Amino acid sequence: MATAKNQTVGRMSPRQKMINLMYIVLTAMLALNVSSEVMNGFTQVQSGLLRSNRTITARNQAMLEQIAAFNNKFPKQGKQWLDLSTEVCAQTDSLYNYIDALKLEIVRKADGPDGDVNNIVNQDNLDAASEVMTKATGGKGKILREKIDKYRNYILSIIDDPQKRESVRAALSTDPYKAPGIAANQKWEESMFENMPTIAAVTLLTKLQNDLRFAEGEALSTMLNNLDTGELRVNHLEAFVVPQSRMVMRGTKYSANIVIAAIDTMQRPRVYVNGHLLGNNRGLYEVTASQSGKFDYSGFIEVIGRDGSVTKRDFKSSYTVFDPLATISAMMMNVLYAGIDNPISIGVPGVPSSAISATMTNGSLVKSGDHWVARPGKVGTNCEITVTAEIDGTRTNVGSTTFRVRKLPDPMPFITYKDANGQSARYKGGRPFSKGLLLAAGGLDAAIDDDMLNIDYRVVSFETVFFDSMGNAIPEVSAGASFSERQKTAIRRLQHGKRFYISRVKATGPDGITRDIAPMEVIVN
């Protein structure tokens, strides 16, 4: 059988190549409006294509008979191939006969009701093919294109060899065509039959029949190559990556076996896991991890040979389920403060940040770069941050944390000035301070500055208290956050070593709350 197979599964013969080349040359000559000699040339190509079609048809019939003979000897393994090959031949014959009918209709449109495809009188008629195939009254070229597309996809579903698939796809292509000098693409049927002489249109259709027989032969040869009476066969190689785990902790190793697996696309194995047959033909085993711990599983794979024998291979493996774990922490503090943006760090081991989402009660939570920003609402009401992560395509709740919400602590007042190096500095009282720097400062500032929070406040008003020579307190009111003119005058009159006090300081924070803050003592140097 192997010898017969090799004889029947052939590539395009030199004669067929010569006929195709003649067809291309004559088509080019037709584009140059070459006269009756070209018409005679198409007649010669038509005759050659008909002979080639008969040869290919005989070859395909021989392959079909070999498949039938195999089925007679091994009916259990051969029936599916005989049924498929018979269907392929039936589909091809149907489209082949439809093209024969189109050729006859074109010829009769050119020569009248007694027109004969084998003896065309008006070979140079430019209207017949257009009227049958492209005009609104005919339009059968579109129907033919749709039939070819359907047939091509059917044949390609059978052929698994990439080179054969590409050959069939090219031979039966119905892609739009862009003719020289024409801006827009032409439909396949327009480029094939618009203003085409009758003899040329018939030759094109005969060439198409030749391509159908070629595609039929490629499909039959594929089925013939898959026939076997002995051990397991494979017809497709695939690359697989088999990781030990898809979740890897930072600092550990990612390990995977990269292998090539040989499979038979026509005979998928049956996989049993823990005594149950998998519900798919891809060997995909899935189980819901409902509890943590280590879980073992085992089973076997069954592959049926061409002779009906069964090959069985056992396997066993295990997997570990761990509880969902999310790390949620405030980056600055262990509580959240109302009215300000609180940076939050959220992470899930083994899960990229792009696959993590989070929500918060009593406030808003948004992602900003590589961290999150929480802005609580009501003071005294806890807020809960809940984190979900996408793990192996499934979104899972991986943890939540509750935070207390407090109002911001009171800020401290200070006077901002420039030091000897021109850098901004803060005078917080309690030590001698230059009168010149004091007057240059212009006013009072306030902020929370405790190495954890660095939040500026806006001073609304304050008072200064000076003492006269009799020890009487003289208060002066500021101009908002700035020293008033009366306060500056009082400062200028102070002698070195004297002091005054800043009190009744009111400041408003980012939470919108205006509060009274601590006074400060200023010693004039």
Domain ranges across the chain: 2-226, 236-321, 327-406, 412-524
Backbone angles phi, psi at 234, to 5 degrees: -130, 145
Mean pLDDT (whole number) for 273-280 = 85
Mean pLDDT (whole number) for 398-411 = 89
**Residue 248 confidence (pLDDT):** 52
**Residue 515 confidence (pLDDT):** 92
> Of the candidates 201, 189, 25, 26, which has an alpha carbon nearest to the alpha carbon of residue 125?
201
**Residue 8 confidence (pLDDT):** 39
Question: pLDDT-derived band of residue 241, with 50, 70 and 90 as boundaries?
Answer: low
> Of the candidates 103, 185, 173, 170, which has an alpha carbon nearest to the alpha carbon of residue 145?
173
**Residue 41 confidence (pLDDT):** 60
Residues, the chain, total?
525
**Residue 487 confidence (pLDDT):** 93
What is the edge-to-edge ordering of all strands in the sheet holding 371-376? 327-330, 342-347, 371-376, 363-368
Q: How far apart are CA 105 and CA 121, in angstroms?
A: 14
Q: Which residues contact 311 (CB under 8 A, 6 or more apart)?
A: 232, 302, 303, 304, 305
Mean pLDDT (whole number) for 412-430 = 92
Mean pLDDT (whole number) for 309-338 = 73
Mean pLDDT (whole number) for 81-89 = 93
Specify the DSSP element, H or E, that contains 114: none
Coil, helix or strand at residue 259: strand
Task: Please tell me which residue, 22 or 468, carries the higher pLDDT value.
Answer: 468
Question: pLDDT-derived band of residue 3, with 50, 70 and 90 as boundaries?
Answer: very low
Maximal CA-CA distance, the chain: 139
Backbone angles phi, psi at 340, to 5 degrees: -130, 165
Task: Please tell me which residue, 481 or 280, carries the higher pLDDT value.
Answer: 481
**Residue 5 confidence (pLDDT):** 41
Residue 46 has pLDDT above 90, yes or no: no
Q: What is the pLDDT of residues 170-201, one digit of tens each?
A: 999 999 877 665 667 788 988 888 888 898 88
Report whether 356 contacts 342 (CB < 8 A): no
Fold (CATH) for 327-406? Immunoglobulin-like (2.60.40)
Hunting for tokens 């005759």 — which residue is that?
Answer: 47
Q: Mean pLDDT score of the chain, rounded to an integer?
A: 82
Q: Which residues contact 459 (CB under 8 A, 6 or more apart)?
A: 413, 443, 444, 445, 446, 480, 481, 505, 506, 507
Task: Please tell me which residue, 11 or 32, carries the higher pLDDT value.
Answer: 11
**Residue 249 confidence (pLDDT):** 47
Question: pLDDT-derived band of residue 305, with 50, 70 and 90 as boundaries?
Answer: low
**Residue 289 confidence (pLDDT):** 74
Long-range CB pairs of 358-366 (<8 Å, 24+ gap) are 358/328, 358/385, 358/386, 358/387, 358/388, 359/385, 359/386, 360/384, 360/385, 360/386, 362/405, 363/336, 363/405
Q: How far apart are CA 419 and CA 10, in angstroms?
A: 94
Q: How far apart are CA 436 and CA 22, in angstroms?
A: 105
Q: What is the pLDDT of residues 440-464, one digit of tens each?
A: 998 999 998 876 778 899 999 999 9
In the chain, the percentage of residues whose pLDDT exceeds 70 is 78
Mean pLDDT (whole number) for 64-92 = 90
Mean pLDDT (whole number) for 423-430 = 92
**Token pair recorded at residue 158:** 């059978």
Q: What is the pLDDT of residues 128-168, one digit of tens each?
A: 888 899 877 678 999 999 999 999 999 999 998 899 999 99
Residue 94 has pLDDT above 60, yes or no: yes
> Of the candidates 456, 229, 244, 249, which has an alpha carbon nearest to the alpha carbon of residue 347?
249
Task: Please tell me which residue, 212 or 322, carries the higher pLDDT value.
Answer: 212
